[in-house]
Amino acid sequence: MLFSFLWAGAGHLYVGDQNVGLPLIICYSLAFLLSFTIILLIITLPAMLGMWIYGMIDAAKKASAYNLEHGLPG
């Protein structure tokens, strides 16, 4: 969850889920680049916030599932 807190999608890459992590990183990066204009900031800010929150929650769930699968404390 810490990696996803720092950058959306990084937590997914850490737990080995590149199918979700890479698109999240790409979309979040594009939204970040587009947010440098005021008009697009209004559009991209909610999208970035949603991707960030989704990334943290989903990465935490997948890390817990990975830990349980490998006999580690969840």
Instruction: Report the domain count for the chain.
Output: 1
- Residue pair 34/44 in contact (Cβ under 8 Å)? The answer is yes
Query: Alpha-carbon distance 47 to 41, whole Å?
Result: 10
Residue 29 lies in a domain: yes
Reference 10, options 65, 1, 19, 30; nearest CA is 1
Return the pLDDT at 71. Answer: 86
Return the pLDDT at 14. Answer: 86
Residue 74 lies in a domain: no
Residue 22 lies in a domain: yes
Note the pTM of the prediction, 2 decimals: 0.77
What domain range includes position 29? Answer: 2-69
Residue 52 lies in a domain: yes
Query: Alpha-carbon distance 33 to 13, whole Å?
Result: 21
Q: What is the pLDDT along the chain (74 residues), one digit of tens a residue?
A: 788 888 888 888 888 889 989 999 999 999 888 888 887 888 888 989 999 999 999 999 998 998 898 888 86
Return the pLDDT at 5. Answer: 87
Query: Alpha-carbon distance 15 to 61, whole Å?
Result: 10
Residue 46 lies in a domain: yes
Residue 45 lies in a domain: yes
Return the pLDDT at 74. Answer: 62
Return the pLDDT at 26. Answer: 94
